[in-house]
Amino acid sequence: MKTTYKILNLIDQGDIPGILADNVLFPRFHDLMDRDLLTMIDDKLVITEKGNRLRTSGGRCEPEGMIGDGRPNLVETGRRELRFLHRSSLFVIGSWLLVIMYILVYCLLLCSG
């Protein structure tokens, strides 16, 4: 929640580069955009009515990957794991393709010689 308030305060101050440069704030910034708490109007980043209600009412906008009672959000955790598996599976597939290519080249050299 601290990052959400920090982002909203930086937007009020007009310090958008500060949000984009921070490795912690940047992913949360995208999460807030996805939840329609922030929007772009005429090339300017503004806080939506929903975002203002959140800030003034003291409502809860949970940190990324968490739900209301502090337990991990299994959907978000699963998405992160799938992204990791996707990257690692591409690496494994590429490695196996290289091995198969080397075997085929070796067989081609044996057959042609």
**Tell me, what's the pLDDT at 68?**
43
Start-end of H helices in 1-113: 2-13, 16-21, 25-34, 49-57, 74-112
Average of pLDDT values for 57-85?
55
* Residue 19 CB-half CA count within 13 A: 24
**Tell me, what's the pLDDT at 69?**
44
Amino acid at 43: D
User: In angstroms, rounded to a whole number, what is the distance separating the alpha carbons of residues 21 and 29?
Assistant: 11
Whole-prediction pTM: 0.47
pLDDT tens-digit series, residues 7-24: 888 888 887 787 778 888
Q: What is the mean pLDDT of the chain?
A: 76
**Tell me, what's the pLDDT at 74?**
57
At residue 65, does pLDDT exceed 50? no
